[in-house]
Amino acid sequence: MKEKTNIRDLFSSAAERNTFLKICAPMVRYSKLEFRHLVRSYGTDLAFTSMIMADSFCKSEKARLNEFTTNEEDTPLIAQFAANNTIDFLSASEMVYPYVDGVDLNCGCPQRWAMAEGYGSALLKTPELIADMLGTVRRNMPSTFSVSVKVRLLSSTDHKRTIDMCRQLEATGITFLTVHGRTAPEMTKVPVHKDALQEIKQSIGIPMVANGDIFTLDDAEQMYLQTKCDGVMTARGILSNPALFAGHSSTPVECVKRWLNICQQADTDITYQCMHHHFSFMTESLLTKRLRYELNNLSKEKQKVYEFIQTHLPLDGVVDDVGSGRQYPEKISCTYSERNYRERTTVVNGGRKDDSTAASAGSLYDPEASEGNFFQSKRVELDATTPALDGDGESTVDGVDFMDGGCILFDE
């Protein structure tokens, strides 16, 4: 079992220092072990895994190997699960317990498939079910182990509805909760409702993490000052700039060099998609649009990406005292027991053996099967404008509107 970090103590320590926890959000495809190492080297205090389907995690060894990896330095760490019933959430939490410092329930993802299957934002319609899942896990896990939930606003105008829900969830004994400052239908162009976040914080007694529209350290500090939150979580901002919490306004070349070192060490442990997408996001401010277009359309060979980065960015002249020559520890070989899950599902099925082959939409979900709309939105921008670029490659591009997290697979 990995050495544990007490998440409640992290919040207490930050409060004593009159500051807030800096948190990297759970992002499908992107919040992997290697990226967690990178952002921690730039001031991130707490990291989440990607959102993991709890039913897949319980049923499939392949899913566990694909969706969760860790090592001895990968702490503080919270595993986020998407679940729509108590058995899946409790069983997945028990299985991952030896390797993380807490578990989190996703009640914010507004994707259509998730909503249809009763995951993510769909759960906000049944707060009693959320409370049952959280309370069951809380009662069955050690008190020092963090149990938390991520929600959205129920209304942008009637704050009382969200406050009442948060109080109901607080009563289950959770360690903290995260609130995204928009409703599920609201687009990213709608500003985060900081007044609602402030009211929620004033109405509960546990730590609250604020999420939404955090692209710089100044954004995080302003969120803290205005809402009095205990932590600030970022998703899109830290994808584009993993050094955000260190105070960098855009990605420094040193950060790209550090990511290159991490990827080369990880070798086959990191997928091409994960490696390539992160390079694409973090070099937005460092490459011309024409070069970004070339990077996004490279053939799927890791070495070609590495050579492209080394050719077009001045990595050799960068001194990185933290990341240069850094050797990361080996992954832990995680072992899991499905016994409790099998026993629970047998009871629920009236003694019939659980049919793991009859997978639900959740357990069939493969986040690596497509490139994801966040990456695709960037590609669309470049595809539409690259042929018309002028010589210096600095023409202005309008952003691409998309649902707030609805197709990106993270709640930002």
Say whether pLDDT at 373 is over 60. no
Is residue 162 located within the same domain as residue 212?
A: yes
CB neighbours of 403 closer than 8 A, spacing ≥ 6? 110, 185, 187
Which of these is catalytic: 24, 58, 107, 109?
109
Average of pLDDT values for 271-286? 96
Give the tokens for residue 247.
Answer: 């105070």
Is residue 287 located within the same domain as residue 242?
A: no
Question: What values do phi and psi take at 6, rounded to 5?
Answer: -85, 110
Give the tokens for residue 73.
Answer: 């330095």
The answer to whether residue 122 sits within a structural domain is yes
Is residue 190 located within the same domain as residue 273?
A: no
**Residue 15, strand partner residues:** none
Average of pLDDT values for 306-321? 92
The answer to whether residue 317 sits within a structural domain is yes
Average of pLDDT values for 16-32? 96
Split at pLDDT 50, 70, 90, the class of 166 is very high
Predicted local confidence at residue 322, as pLDDT? 79
Predicted local confidence at residue 258, as pLDDT? 96
- Domain count for the chain: 2
407 is an active site residue: no
Is residue 55 located within the same domain as residue 87?
A: yes
Strands in 2-45 per DSSP E: 21-24
DSSP-based three-state secondary structure for 148: strand
Please say which residue of 186, 220, 246 terminates a domain.
Answer: 246
Say whether pLDDT at 405 is over 80. no
Give the tokens for residue 183.
Answer: 């409703």
Which pTM value belongs to this model? 0.87
Is residue 130 located within the same domain as residue 263?
A: no
Nearest C-alpha neighbor of 83 from the set 39, 132, 46, 41: 132
Predicted local confidence at residue 320, as pLDDT? 83
Q: Are strands 102-106 and 231-234 parallel, antiparallel or unpaired?
A: unpaired
Predicted local confidence at residue 385, as pLDDT? 53
**Number of alpha carbons in the 13 Å side-chain half-sphere of residue 84:** 18
DSSP-based three-state secondary structure for 66: helix
Mean pLDDT estimate for the chain: 87
Average of pLDDT values for 271-287? 96
Please say which residue of 296, 322, 348 terminates a domain.
Answer: 322
Give the tokens for residue 394.
Answer: 């600095």
pLDDT in tens, 28-70: 889 999 999 999 999 999 999 999 999 999 999 999 999 999 9
CA dihedral (362, 106, 50, 343) in degrees, to 10, reads: -50
Supply the range of the domain harboring residue 202: 7-246
pLDDT in tens, 95-148: 999 999 999 999 988 777 788 888 999 999 999 999 999 999 999 999 999 999
